[in-house]
Amino acid sequence: MRAFPARTIWLALTAGLMGLTLWLIFIWVPTESNLGEVQRALYFHVPVAILALGAIVLVAIGSVGFLITNRPRWDWFAHASAETGVVVGALALITGSIWARPIWNVWWTWDAKLTTTLILWFIFIGYLMLRAYAPPGRQGARLAAILGVIGAIDAPIIYYAADLWRTAHPGRVTGPGADGSLESEMLLTLLVSSIAVFSAFAYMLVERYRVRKSEADVIELGRRIQMAHSEVSGPATGALKAMSKG
């Protein structure tokens, strides 16, 4: 019998953790007395919001790595981080809005954290559009890497500007210097949900990275077949020859 590949085990574990998280959030953890039921959105919102901001750092690391080494694997990593960043960014914005509607009475407000997240989300979208419209290969990867670096250094300036402009978002509820506090059951729920969400994020990141790698492999294979075509007369023999070489 063939053993399960590590990725399948990882996926199953993540799915199980997600199930546990849902049970903790909706059944086990007590309702927060001031904010009511909607506060449960926070257990999901906090980890995805952290990842949305973390993703731009990952994109920047991949981008700097690519610009320095010119190795495609750094670019695959940056590209995959941007794609997963769009997903968690959208989730952070949506779950935040769900929380905000009953608490702030609006779906959206132009607070520093919200504004920064939204603008970063648009920079991610710009990154993916750039990948689609830029010339394929190294030049496109390099242009995207420049945007990845710029996005990361721009983020603190956007936050600083928006913070001075207006602020309404509650402070952090956990960690050093937090201005709120959580009951131990709530903290445990947040911890488990964070592990589940982080694991799902990492899984998506790895999957997208593998897709990028496969794409590059296919392009490389196509290039070799074409080269063999031009070397040998007759298309069929050329392709066969390339395959035997590859």
Partner 1 sequence: MGALGPLLTIARKDFLLELRNRDILVSLVVFAMLVLIIFNFAIELTAVNLDALGPGILWVAIAFAGVIGLNRTFVLEKDHDALDGLMLAPVSRDTIFLGKALGSMGFILLSELVIFPVFAALFGVDILRLETLAVALLASLGLAAAGTVFGAMAVSTRSREIMLPVLFLPVISPVLIGAVEATARVASGASWSAVSQWLQIIAVFDLVFVVAGVLLFQYVLED
To the nearest whole angstrom, how small is the minimum distance from the Cβ of residue 121 to partner 1? 9
Q: Which of 15, 119, 188, 195 binds partner 1 (CB under 8 A)?
A: 119
Query: In the beta sheet, which residues pair with residue 32?
Result: 36
Instruction: Give yes or no for a contact between 186 and 34, defined as CB atoms under 8 angstroms apart.
Output: no
CB nearer to partner 1: give 88 or 155.
155
Q: Which of 31, 69, 139, 237 binds partner 1 (CB under 8 A)?
A: 139
Instruction: Give yes or no for a contact between 134 and 143, defined as CB atoms under 8 angstroms apart.
Output: yes
CB nearer to partner 1: give 138 or 245.
138
Supply φ then ψ for residue 36, to 5 degrees: 85, -160
Q: Which of 146, 168, 218, 219 binds partner 1 (CB under 8 A)?
A: 146
Q: Which of the ranges 73-81, 160-168, 184-192, 199-207 carries the binding residues for partner 1, by CB under 8 A? A: 160-168
CB nearer to partner 1: give 26 or 165.
165
Sign of CA dihedral 43, 37, 93, 154: negative
CB nearer to partner 1: give 50 or 125.
125
Instruction: Give yes or no for a contact between 143 and 133, defined as CB atoms under 8 angstroms apart.
Output: no
Sign of CA dihedral 227, 231, 237, 241: negative
CA distance 114 to 111: 5
| HSE (side-chain half, CA atoms, 13 Å) at 209 | 16
Q: Which of 41, 49, 53, 123 binds partner 1 (CB under 8 A)?
A: 123
CB nearer to partner 1: give 139 or 237.
139
Q: What residues have CB less than 8 Å from 162, skipping those under 6 apart?
A: 110, 111, 112, 115, 116
Amino acid present at 106: V
Q: Which of residues 31-70 bind partner 1 (CB under 8 A)?
A: 67
CA distance 182 to 199: 23
CA distance 30 to 32: 6
Q: Which of 9, 12, 153, 218 binds partner 1 (CB under 8 A)?
A: 153
Q: Which of the ranges 23-31, 52-60, 140-148, 177-185 carries the binding residues for partner 1, by CB under 8 A? A: 140-148
72 binds partner 1 (CB under 8 A): no
CB nearer to partner 1: give 11 or 125.
125
126 binds partner 1 (CB under 8 A): yes
Residues that bind partner 1 (CB under 8 A): 67, 115, 119, 122-123, 125-126, 129-130, 133-135, 139, 142-143, 145-147, 149-151, 153-154, 157-158, 160-162, 164-165
